[in-house]
């Protein structure tokens, strides 16, 4: 039962990572800021700029 | 006692692997169940991971968990962040899994299931996964440096510059070929075209949702986006049956090509949050979900393979692409066995997330094995189709004939019986007007997947839905590659042109953005247009070009990896990277040479140009077709030139590398390993 729970937690964590929700949380924590629309936009723009400078795999 | 049991267990896995490989290799004449392929692949991967990869990790790389990784040393809560190894594994796998491992095996199935399957398994264990693993390790020990930076540092300036130029050129060909796959999947199909068209406003809606209405709620937004996409598939069926709306979405290949070119330009020039990013999120989740579903579906249905182990086309006369098994099977399946593009990912985001050095073992080597397994699943999905149906879908009209009667006549004469009524009823079942000559691999893969999904539940009543779901899945993430790739190409070009005229290098200067976006789109758009106009379907010329390019990039990555191994251990472990490198050089150089100079027009670009020129000179070409024929001649020569350019670039890096290796081994060249200095790790287990 606990391994099923761990697996479910791991999958949710992975989805949050892929969805940039976990990096956003870390971004806020590292800067000691709270969530706001403006903060998300700032984070998202920084992240996208870095992401779309690299080729995507075929 | 436990040790003896362990040895016995591994011996049993080895016997199982050998038995399954022998069964699929030696079986002739009887249908093979797909589970033989699944077990052969899985057991070989497990052995490769446990023994070969662990040997490389422990003895060659000397991975050390006491050494702080860049994720720990340079932690910034953003790019550099120590992350749970399974999350990095999923992240890395999502990044390396593209359409390549799905489309390549489907095309290579024209030789039968055996050559492609063996190459996928052996190539991944001894080549692809080794390349990904060593490049990830090298980048991790060098503060997350990119392949280009490592090539410049380890091999020299020429190597570094050539690697960057090669990447840009490969991207142009990649974007053209994947766009061609989408065009061929959507051509004349209102259902599929409507579904894909609907994903654009859905992506814009998601972009606005994330930006203004629910900022940061990506998962919630992706679920809504996915439900809307599912709705569009249902709606698409109604559109396809409507006499009013169906003509709007029934587009020719040329019209679709221009639509994708315009889309690529807009996606490159528009703000990234509006279209590109939301589509990217959606495509990542759909991709992972569908791969999982396909795996479960194959295990549940355990279908039998209908294609034989070998077909008559091993002699090089294949209708999908011309050329013998060696070298063409090995360049057709690049991703899934060994892919140069993976080295860009292994030296991109992933090394900045690894918390402990030993995590590189499952992440670098293990992710590639999973990707290889995806390729095996694609091979199974293609081979569950009746051979006659497989060739009717994948063979271009220029080879089998433009009418259904001509096509079934040609294909049946090859020994793969198929009838017009069989193809018509199949087309009706999936809601298409026709399935003849739907080249590119995507439609036949979608048919195979729909067959497996429908047998898992729902039966024939849902085949149409699953077919269009599979087409949507393939097109969705191919379009993500097109828009992201165009943008990346634009950045590379701006970077290059910024040295000539500084404003062009500014990513915020709109005229520069528009001009460079247009230049990149024009470059891949030209090759796409060329493929669409090609009477042999385009895939015949463009996919081998892409395969050669991708494998040449892998050769560059292996040159970097070999240089690093020589600096670390001298010649002792040279064989680990030299073995796949020598194989790749043989394959790619032979393939490129044949594509340029083979006297058979179906293979050699120059022979093709000569044949057309002779036909023009003899007056055999109708006056209305003269201009088109001249374009075909120019395109064949252009393809030969591109092939030659790739060869020249990689030969430059190879020679540069060999000179460097000889120098290091003789002691006339610096042997310094340019790793970041050792810093002890202070990371606590609860932080990962």
Partners of residue A35 in chain B, C-beta under 8 Å: 215-216
Enter the tokens of residue B570: 């001298």
Alpha carbons B199 and B610: distance in angstroms, whole number: 44
> Is-contact B464 B430, C-beta < 8 A?
yes
Give residue A57's pLDDT.
75
Give residue A49's pLDDT.
83
Give residue B588's pLDDT.
94
pTM, full prediction: 0.94
The label of the residue with tokens 């057991």 reads: B43
> Is-contact B551 B298, C-beta < 8 A?
no
Would you say residue B673 lies in a domain?
no
Alpha carbons B166 and B572: distance in angstroms, whole number: 30
B349 in contact with chain A, both atoms CB, cutoff 8 A = yes
Give residue A55's pLDDT.
72
Q: Does residue B423 surpass a pLDDT of 80?
A: yes
Q: How sure is the predictor about B94, in pLDDT bands with cuts at 50, 70 and 90?
A: confident
Partners of residue B550 in chain A, C-beta under 8 Å: 58
Give residue B114's pLDDT.
97
Q: Does residue B367 surpass a pLDDT of 90?
A: yes
Give residue B476's pLDDT.
86
Span B615-641, average pLDDT: 93
A5 Cα to chain B: minimum distance (Å): 15
Nearest CA-CA partner of B180 in B96, B98, B250, B253: B253
Span B568-587, average pLDDT: 96
Which position has the higher pLDDT, B558 or B540? B558
Span B172-181, average pLDDT: 92
Q: Does residue B161 surpass a pLDDT of 90?
A: no
The angle, 0 to 180 degrees and rounded to 10, between the axes of the packed helices B539-569 and B129-140 is: 50
Report the residue of chain A nearest B212, measured CA to CA: A37
> At B402, phi and psi to the nearest 5?
-80, -20
Nearest CA-CA partner of B464 in B241, B283, B285: B241
Q: How sure is the predictor about B159, in pLDDT bands with cuts at 50, 70 and 90?
A: confident
> Is-contact A19 B244, C-beta < 8 A?
no
Partners of residue B488 in chain A, C-beta under 8 Å: 52-56
Which position has the higher pLDDT, B414 or B488? B414
- Which of B47-61, B248-262, B316-330, B641-655 shows the lowest mean pLDDT across its residues? B641-655
Give residue B220's pLDDT.
96
Q: Does residue B688 surpass a pLDDT of 80?
A: no
Burial of B515 (0-12, 13-18, 19+ CB in 10 A): middle
Span A13-28, average pLDDT: 93
Enter the tokens of residue B297: 């579906």
> Is-contact B105 B335, C-beta < 8 A?
no
Q: How sure is the predictor about B86, in pLDDT bands with cuts at 50, 70 and 90?
A: very high
Span B379-383, average pLDDT: 97
Q: Does residue A58 surpass a pLDDT of 80?
A: no
Q: Tell me which residue range forms the domain holding B75.
A: 7-188+251-666
> At A55, phi and psi to the nearest 5?
-70, 145
pLDDT tens digits, B206-259: 999 999 999 999 999 999 999 999 999 999 999 999 999 999 999 999 999 999
Give residue B609's pLDDT.
96
Enter the tokens of residue B174: 């990649």
Span B341-348, average pLDDT: 90
Q: Which of B171, B178, B219 faces A19 most closely, judged by CB atoms?
A: B219
Q: Is B305 helix (H, G, I), strand (E, B) or coil?
A: strand
Give residue B281's pLDDT.
92
Give residue B308's pLDDT.
95
Would you say residue B178 lies in a domain?
yes
Enter the tokens of residue B266: 């807009």
Sign of CA dihedral B233, B235, B240, B245: negative
B621 Cα to chain A: minimum distance (Å): 38
Would you say residue B536 lies in a domain?
yes
Q: Does residue B503 surpass a pLDDT of 80?
A: yes
Span B607-622, average pLDDT: 94
Give residue A22's pLDDT.
93
Contacts of residue B450, defined as CB under 8 A and 6 or more positions apart, other chains included, come to B430, B463, B464, B466, B467, B469, B470
Sign of CA dihedral B169, B172, B174, B180: negative
B619 Cα to chain A: minimum distance (Å): 43
Nearest CA-CA partner of B340 in B128, B520, B140: B128
Q: How many residues does chain B have?
A: 688
Q: Does residue B78 surpass a pLDDT of 80?
A: no
Partners of residue A21 in chain B, C-beta under 8 Å: 216-219
- Computed over every residue of chain B, the mean pLDDT equals 93
CATH number at residue B12: 1.20.1740.10
Between the alpha carbon of residue B599 and those of residues B339, B595, B635, the distances in Å are 29, 10, 17
Report the residue of chain B nearest A9, measured CA to CA: B87
Q: Which of A35, A50, A54 faces B216 most closely, judged by CB atoms?
A: A35
Alpha carbons B610 and B599: distance in angstroms, whole number: 10
CB contact under 8 A, B273 and A20: no
Kindly write down the DSSP assignment for every residue of B556-572, as one continuous string: HHHHHHHHHHHHHHTTT
Give residue B266's pLDDT.
87
B267 in contact with chain A, both atoms CB, cutoff 8 A = no
Burial of B189 (0-12, 13-18, 19+ CB in 10 A): buried
Which position has the higher pLDDT, A49 or B278? B278
pLDDT tens digits, B517-546: 899 999 999 999 999 988 887 888 899 999
Q: Does residue A2 surpass a pLDDT of 90?
A: no
pLDDT tens digits, B287-304: 899 999 999 999 999 999
Q: Does residue B435 surpass a pLDDT of 80?
A: yes
Q: Does residue B498 surpass a pLDDT of 90?
A: no
Sign of CA dihedral B534, B538, B542, B547: negative
Contacts of residue B507, defined as CB under 8 A and 6 or more positions apart, other chains included, come to B491, B494, B513
CB contact under 8 A, A54 and B97: no
Nearest CA-CA partner of B105 in B371, B316, B359: B371
Enter the tokens of residue B313: 């086309």
CB contact under 8 A, B219 and A26: no
> Is-contact B327 B591, C-beta < 8 A?
yes
Q: How many residues does chain A have?
A: 58
Cross-strand partners of B680: B67
Give residue A21's pLDDT.
95
Partners of residue B99 in chain A, C-beta under 8 Å: 58
Alpha carbons B621 and B532: distance in angstroms, whole number: 20
Give residue B399's pLDDT.
94
Span B173-201, average pLDDT: 93
A33 in contact with chain B, both atoms CB, cutoff 8 A = no
How many separate domains does chain B show? Answer: 1
Would you say residue B1 lies in a domain?
no
B494 in contact with chain A, both atoms CB, cutoff 8 A = no
Report cis status (omega within 30 of 0) of the bond before B5: no
Q: Per-residue b/e over B196-226, b at no fewer than 16 CB within 10 Å?
A: bbbbeebbebbbebbbeeebbbbbebbebbb
Q: How sure is the predictor about B492, in pLDDT bands with cuts at 50, 70 and 90?
A: confident
Give residue B610's pLDDT.
96
Span B673-684, average pLDDT: 93
Give residue B491's pLDDT.
82
Span B637-658, average pLDDT: 91
pLDDT tens digits, B31-64: 899 999 999 999 999 999 999 999 999 999 999 9
């Amino acid at each position: 039962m606990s391994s099923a729970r761990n697996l479910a937690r791991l999958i949710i964590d992975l989805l949050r990572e892929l969805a940039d929700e976990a990096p956003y949380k870390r971004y806020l924590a590292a800067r000691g800021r709270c969530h706001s629309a403006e903060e998300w936009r700032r984070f998202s723009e920084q992240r996208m700029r870095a992401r779309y400078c690299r080729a995507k795999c075929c | 006692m436990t040790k003896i049991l362990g040895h016995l267990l591994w011996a049993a896995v080895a016997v199982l692997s050998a038995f399954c490989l022998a069964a699929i290799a030696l079986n002739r004449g009887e249908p093979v169940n797909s589970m033989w392929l699944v077990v052969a692949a899985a057991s070989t991967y497990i052995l490769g991971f446990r023994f070969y990869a662990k040997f490389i990790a422990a003895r060659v790389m000397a991975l050390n968990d006491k050494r702080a990784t860049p994720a720990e040393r340079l932690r910034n809560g953003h790019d550099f962040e120590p992350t749970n190894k399974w999350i990095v594994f999923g992240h890395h796998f999502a990044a390396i899994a593209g359409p390549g491992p799905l489309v390549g095996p489907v095309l290579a199935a024209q030789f039968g299931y055996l050559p492609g399957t063996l190459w996928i398994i052996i190539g991944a264990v001894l080549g692809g996964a080794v390349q990904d693993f060593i490049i990830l390790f090298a980048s991790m020990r060098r503060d997350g440096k990119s392949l280009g930076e490592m090539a410049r540092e380890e091999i020299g300036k020429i190597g570094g510059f050539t690697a960057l130029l090669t990447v840009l050129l490969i991207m142009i060909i990649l974007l053209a070929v994947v766009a061609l796959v989408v065009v061929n999947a959507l051509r004349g199909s209102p259902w599929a075209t409507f579904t894909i068209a609907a994903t654009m406003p859905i992506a814009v809606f998601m972009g606005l949702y994330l930006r203004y209405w629910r900022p940061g709620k990506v998962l919630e937004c992706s679920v809504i986006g996915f439900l809307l996409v599912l709705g569009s598939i249902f709606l698409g069926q109604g559109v396809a049956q409507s006499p009013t709306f169906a003509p709007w979405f029934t587009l020719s290949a040329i019209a679709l090509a221009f639509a994708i070119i315009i889309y690529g330009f807009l996606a490159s020039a528009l703000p990234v949050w509006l279209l590109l990013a939301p589509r990217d999120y959606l495509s990542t989740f759909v991709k992972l979900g569908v791969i999982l579903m396909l795996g479960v579906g194959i295990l549940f249905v355990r279908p039998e393979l209908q294609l034989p182990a070998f077909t008559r086309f091993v002699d090089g006369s294949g209708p999908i692409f011309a050329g013998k098994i060696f070298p063409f099977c090995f360049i057709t399946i690049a991703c899934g066995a060994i892919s140069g593009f993976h080295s860009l990912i292994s030296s991109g985001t992933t090394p900045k997330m690894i918390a402990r050095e030993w995590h590189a073992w499952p992440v670098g080597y293990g992710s590639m094995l999973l990707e290889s397994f995806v390729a095996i699943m694609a091979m199974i999905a293609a081979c569950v189709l009746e051979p006659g149906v497989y060739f009717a879908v994948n063979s271009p009209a220029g080879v089998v004939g433009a009418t259904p009667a001509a096509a079934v006549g040609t294909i049946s004469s090859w020994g793969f019986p198929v009838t017009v009524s069989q193809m018509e009823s199949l087309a009706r079942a999936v809601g298409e007007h026709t399935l003849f000559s739907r080249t590119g691999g995507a439609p036949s893969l979608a048919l195979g997947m729909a067959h497996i999904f429908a047998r898992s539940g729902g039966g024939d009543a849902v085949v149409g839905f699953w077919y269009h779901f599979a087409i949507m899945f393939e097109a969705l993430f191919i379009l993500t590659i097109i828009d992201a790739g165009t943008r990346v190409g634009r950045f590379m070009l701006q970077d290059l042109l910024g040295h000539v005229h500084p404003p062009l290098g500014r990513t915020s200067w709109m005229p520069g953005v528009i001009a460079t976006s247009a230049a990149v789109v024009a470059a891949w758009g030209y090759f796409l247009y060329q493929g669409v106009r090609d009477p042999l379907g385009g895939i015949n010329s463009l996919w081998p070009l892409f395969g050669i390019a991708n494998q040449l990039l892998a050769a560059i990555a292996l040159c970097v990896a070999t240089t690093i191994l020589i600096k670390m251990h001298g010649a002792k472990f040279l064989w680990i990277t030299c073995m796949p490198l020598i194989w790749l050089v043989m394959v790619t150089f032979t393939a490129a040479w044949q594509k340029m100079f083979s006297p058979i027009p179906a293979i050699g670009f120059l022979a093709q140009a000569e044949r057309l020129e002779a036909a023009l000179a003899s007056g055999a070409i109708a006056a209305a077709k003269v201009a088109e024929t001249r374009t075909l001649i120019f395109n064949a020569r252009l393809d030969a030139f591109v092939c030659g350019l790739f060869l020249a670039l990689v030969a430059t890096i190879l020679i540069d590398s060999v000179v460097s290796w000889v120098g290091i081994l003789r002691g006339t060249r610096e042997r310094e390993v340019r790793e970041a200095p050792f810093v002890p790790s202070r990371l606590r287990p609860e932080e990962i």
